Structure 1
Amino acid sequence: MALNNPKTTKQWTVEGFEGPSSLQFSEMPVPSLKDNEVLVQIKGATLNPRDLLITQGQYPWTVKQSIIPGSDGAGIVLATGSSVTRFKPGDRVITTLNQKHICGSLTKDIALNYGTGASIDGTFRQFGAFDEQALVAMPSHVSFVEAAALTCAGVTAWNALFGGGRGKEILGEGGWVLTQGTGSVSLFALQFAKASGARVIATTSSSSKISLLQSLGADHVINYRETPNWGADAKELTGGSGVDLVVEVAGPTTIRQSAESLKLDGQISVVGFIGGQGDGSGDSNAQTQGQVPSLLETWLNLYTARGVWVGSREQMEEMCRAVEASGVRPVIDERVFKLEDLREAYEYLAEGRNVGKIGIEIQ
């Protein structure tokens, strides 16, 4: 079945590893559908730091030559292969990042070889063929650009909060969550935690961003530049018991304070290291390394530290149902780009001036 049959698609590919200048725009034939594939008219997309790393040759997993980049995308099903059962023409869908990660634990093979926009052609194009297993239904109240933001940052935050079994036990009415800054994962974590009934302490380095965090529901905001030992302050805000869960995005520069904020038997979900890797290079010096808690401290202070890499399709479907029920809307930067201006969007991402996800409208 099909709604229409486009012949060509405008698209971007990565040709070399010189940063955004490696992006090349062209018009190519629409790929033929395999039996298990769905043809999607992509209407909205968003950018991730991984997209920039791919153009720089710094992405640590498999990147196909002349890859069509972009993991985040949402659009309308135009046609389906003969064996497709999950979708029909007219359905609104969102892409997943790890196309073979349906449920359960992530495997090395899936992480290396099935990444949308890296090892498998992605979303920065008008039309694309995707395995039906690599798509989820889109919440009805969000725009296509907003829906695209759920693919990576959204499900990462969801997994950080509710994955691994413990999150569902320790969150909810009366629970405390600590989020860091105004990056996309942190903003999603704040929104999802509030929707679950938890109370949220958010940190920021900028007084100008306090109002944004409060508008999304933060119960307390701590400026960590003004309060270097913010972990103790966060614990005091909970009445002295500590927070149930920290969504840790900065790594060695903050993880000591995150641990200090935790209650007994709390959890740190480590989703990134924007503050550096703590390997003695760059800004992560020996003093910073000394501030990183050891594994033994998880026993001494009784907390769980859990690493998070995005999430499964099952988790994404669960998240989308919650987004639909709660009315959560992803935070999109005020500057939204057209597909033709993708290279400029990459440069905007590299400058770090965005608040929320950088959106791409596709016509």
Structure 2
Amino acid sequence: MSIPTTAREYAYTEIGSFKNLTVREVPVPTPKANEVLVKTRAVSLQFRDLLVSNGTYPGQFPPHLVPCSDMAGDIVAVGADVQGWKAGDRICPNFMIDKIHNEFMSNEVANSALGGAIHGVLTEYRCFPAHCLVAIPSHLSYEEASTLPCAALTAYNALLSSGSEPLKAGDTVLIQGTGGVSVFALQFAVASGATAIVLSSSDEKLESATQLGAKHVINYKTTPNWDQQVLKLTNGNGVDRVIEVVGDATLERSMSSVRIDGSIVIVGLLGGIGADVPAVDIIRPSIFKGLKISGIFVGSVPQFRNMNKLLAANPETTRPLIDKVFEFEHAKEAFAHLESQKHVGKVVIRVN
């Protein structure tokens, strides 16, 4: 295929709101010897993208940041030293392009995170180092595949590949919400033969969770003491694992919900951070219940490849749930839809 000389991309005129995103025309880059040039087909949004847009996400951003971390596309050109990839291959880049091992990341690896420390993927063409690429499972569309690098891999890491014992058939997991990470966690739990309990403030969203395989659902608005309901559902024992996406605002009830020697995996901070969030006593429950509390920050390239094997082996159970697809020209509307929290699953922008 012919490669144009210029392409469109979104960039921030200034950090403070996604409304500050503007479209600009830039030269299409030429890949270095160890890089490939990718034509973007779809980009999915994360809650992180909203935090970056309003300036509450930690870290330094390059000037006029190109947003977003998750994309799917085609290789259109290959650098001279690249092996194993060719034009036409369908790929996703890893969230952190230099996290190529499973060991806990260094500052250098953390500073390779797309759409934050470095420019992101809301652009028609972008070069990536070949070492960060993962092949898209053949049964997935570009829109579906674009949801994998952050939301899916975070859920996979939290359940099946973190420092905790991998979730197994017969285990029980408590999942907060029905956003991108939460829905993937539900799907992976079901594919693993585990029992899933899902929390939400919306009965409509809980119905969607039930259709995806949740065994039990709890509306935390009508059942504010939801941890007691979790204990009731588990015969007083508590769940084996909690997928904590809110943070300090719910951590106390999460610790109440988990069994002795169980685990809580913290993957998000939807409840906010700072002085407005009440302090939580972690020490005593951790000691007396023997809890394992860990944080998960996405995953590595090898974990991504292993996750894709799970997707291919369970194509329907794990098929990404997309709430709505927006065209490239309506990217700011996609951000607004994500901010509304009306979605179940992922919000995607179709680029080409």
Fold similarity call, TM over 0.5: yes
Residue matched to 1:253: 249
SS at match of 1:358: strand
Aligned mate of 1:233, from 214, 221, 229: 229
CA distance in 2, matches of 1:267, 1:337: 37
1:320 aligns with 2:316: no
1:305 aligns with 2:289: no
Aligned mate of 2:322, from 303, 323, 332: 332
Q: 1:321-360, aligned counterparts within 5 Å? A: 321-327=309-315, 328-333=318-323, 335-360=324-349
Q: 1:114-129, aligned counterparts within 5 Å? A: 114-129=112-127
1:25 aligns with 2:23: yes
Residue matched to 1:6: 4
SS at match of 1:299: helix
Give the drift of 1:209: 1.6
Can you give the 5+ residue segments of structure 1 that lack an aligned partner in the other structure?
Answer: none
Give the drift of 1:352: 2.6
- Whichever residue aligns with residue 244 of structure 2, its letter is E
SS at match of 2:322: coil
Q: Which stretch has the larger CA shift, 137-146 or 15-24? A: 15-24
Residue matched to 1:110: 109
Q: Deviations over 1:230-260 (max 9, x none)?
A: 2232122223332111101112222122111
Residue matched to 2:131: 133
Aligned mate of 1:205, from 195, 201, 204: 201
CA distance in 2, matches of 1:326, 1:62: 39
CA distance in 2, matches of 1:307, 1:55: 23
On the 8 A contact 2:246/2:271 being kept in 1, the answer is yes
Q: 1:79-158, aligned counterparts within 5 Å? A: 79-103=77-101, 104-111=103-110, 113-158=111-156
Q: Deviations over 1:203-245 (max 9, x none)?
A: 1112222210101100011122222222232122223332111
CA distance in 2, matches of 1:228, 1:186: 20
Residue matched to 2:44: 46
Give the drift of 1:165: 3.6
CA distance in 2, matches of 1:338, 1:148: 14
SS at match of 1:38: strand
Structure 2 CA distance for partners of 1:205 and 1:79, relative to 1, 3 Å: same
CA distance in 2, matches of 1:68, 1:10: 11
CA distance in 1, matches of 2:275, 2:113: 30
1:68 aligns with 2:56: no
Residue matched to 2:159: 161
SS at match of 1:166: coil
1:183 aligns with 2:173: no
Give the drift of 1:326: 0.8
CA distance in 2, matches of 1:134, 1:11: 21
- Whichever residue aligns with residue 82 of structure 1, its letter is A
CA distance in 2, matches of 1:4, 1:269: 46
Tell me the matched-pair count: 349
Give the drift of 1:302: 1.3
Structure 2 CA distance for partners of 1:191 and 1:24, relative to 1, 3 Å: same
Structure 2 CA distance for partners of 1:223 and 1:57, relative to 1, 3 Å: closer
Question: TM-score, normalised on structure 1?
Answer: 0.91
SS at match of 2:175: strand
Residue matched to 1:16: 14
SS at match of 2:115: coil
* Identical residues among aligned pairs (%): 39
SS at match of 1:154: helix
Structure 2 CA distance for partners of 1:236 and 1:353, relative to 1, 3 Å: closer
CA distance in 2, matches of 1:64, 1:253: 32
SS at match of 2:155: helix
Aligned mate of 1:296, from 271, 284, 294: 284
On the 8 A contact 1:10/1:25 being kept in 2, the answer is yes
On the 8 A contact 1:95/1:148 being kept in 2, the answer is no
CA distance in 2, matches of 1:157, 1:127: 28
Question: TM-score, normalised on structure 2?
Answer: 0.94
On the 8 A contact 1:125/1:339 being kept in 2, the answer is no
The runs of at least 4 consecutive aligned structure 1 residues that moved more than 3 Å come to none
1:267 aligns with 2:266: no
1:55 aligns with 2:53: yes
On the 8 A contact 1:175/1:244 being kept in 2, the answer is yes
SS at match of 2:143: helix
On the 8 A contact 1:31/1:129 being kept in 2, the answer is yes
Residue matched to 2:275: 280
